């Protein structure tokens, strides 16, 4: 299989690249930090093709896809993984610029990548799109405001893809993890406050990037007649809270 992974310079994306390549598949590893892509490509050898790509920039997407060598063009699996959260402040104190960056990356970027690659899958009558959602898309929490909303978008967009793709042979999955450590997610969210980022995982045994990579690999290698619509994963130490009630 040829697997196109967005956001392969860190976290889930890098782990997914290693997992698919480790099972003998070819991976197109993309992201903005070129030196990271080159290091991962050097590690994975001929199985990996590094591609500089900013999912918020349509020209960057078009250029990256146009430059793919012919033998890398039939993409079997698209993993829309690039994404981020910025901030944990309440809505009325949050930065509109941060909100727009999350929407541009997690929603518009994912849509643009899907629109660019989906027609070739439909034309070949096969393919799998795995969109990385989040439990934040289903369960609200204080400070989750726009981040959670972008992941709710990812889930519904994926289900609507399913509705359109019936009969085409192309599959679509929303893969929604909960608390997952060992990636740069919280460092990015806390804007470089690494102590605050580390606190998120204090005293927990969170999911790992390998857990998510193994799940993506399982989804992509199921028999062609099986489509996982939606899969939600939490670490065993995570659960649900009560509704908040402000009492007089």
Residues that bind ligand NDP (CB under 6 A): 6-13, 31-33, 36, 53-56, 81-84, 105, 109, 132, 134, 177, 179-180, 183-185, 188
With CB under 5 to 8 Å by kind, the binding choice for 32 among ligand NDP, ligand 8X3, none is ligand NDP
Contact 74, 25 (CB under 8 A): no
Contact 4, 21 (CB under 8 A): no
- Tell how strand 77-80 and strand 2-5 pair up: parallel
- 147 annotated active-site: yes
135 binding ligand 8X3? (CB under 6 A): yes
Q: How far apart are CA 130 and CA 132, in angstroms?
A: 6
Q: How far is the CB of 244 from ligand NDP (least distance, A)?
A: 22
With CB under 5 to 8 Å by kind, the binding choice for 40 among ligand NDP, ligand 8X3, none is none
Cα–Cα nearest to 57, from 13, 118, 6, 9:
6
Query: In the complex, which residue's CB is closest to ligand 8X3?
Result: 134
| Closer residue to ligand NDP (CB): 10 or 172 | 10
Q: How far is the CB of 224 from ligand NDP (least distance, A)?
A: 26
Of 10-18, 51-59, 112-120, 131-139, the segment contacting ligand 8X3 by CB under 6 A is 131-139
For ligand 8X3, the binding residue among 28, 41, 75, 136 (CB under 6 A) is 136
* Placement of tokens 């369960």 in the chain: 139
Contacts of 5 (CB under 8 A, 6+ apart): 13, 16, 17, 20, 27, 28, 29, 30, 79, 81
């Amino acid at each position: 299989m040829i697997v196109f992974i967005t956001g392969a310079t860190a976290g889930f994306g890098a782990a997914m690249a290693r997992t698919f390549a480790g099972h003998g598949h070819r991976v197109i590893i993309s992201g903005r930090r070129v030196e990271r892509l080159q290091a991962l490509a050097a590690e994975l050898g001929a199985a990996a093709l590094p591609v500089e790509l900013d999912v918020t920039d349509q020209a960057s997407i078009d250029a990256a896809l146009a430059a793919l060598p012919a033998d890398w063009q039939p993409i079997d699996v698209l993993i829309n993984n690039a994404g981020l959260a910025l901030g944990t402040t309440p809505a009325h104190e949050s930065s509109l610029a941060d909100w727009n960056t999350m929407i541009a990356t997690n929603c518009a970027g994912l849509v643009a990548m899907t629109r660019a690659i989906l027609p070739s899958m439909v034309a070949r009558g096969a393919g799998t799109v795995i969109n990385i959602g989040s439990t934040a898309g289903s369960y609200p929490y204080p400070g989750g405001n726009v981040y959670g909303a972008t992941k709710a978008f990812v889930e519904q967009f994926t289900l609507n893809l399913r509705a359109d793709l019936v009969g085409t042979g192309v599959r679509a999955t929303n893969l929604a993890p909960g608390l997952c450590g060992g990636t740069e997610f919280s460092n990015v969210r806390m804007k470089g406050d690494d102590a605050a980022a580390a606190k998120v995982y204090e005293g927990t045994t969170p999911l790992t990037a390998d857990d998510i990579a193994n799940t993506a690999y399982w989804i992509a290698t199921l028999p062609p007649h099986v489509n996982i619509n939606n899969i939600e994963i939490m670490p065993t130490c995570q659960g649900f809270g009560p509704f908040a009630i402000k009492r007089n």
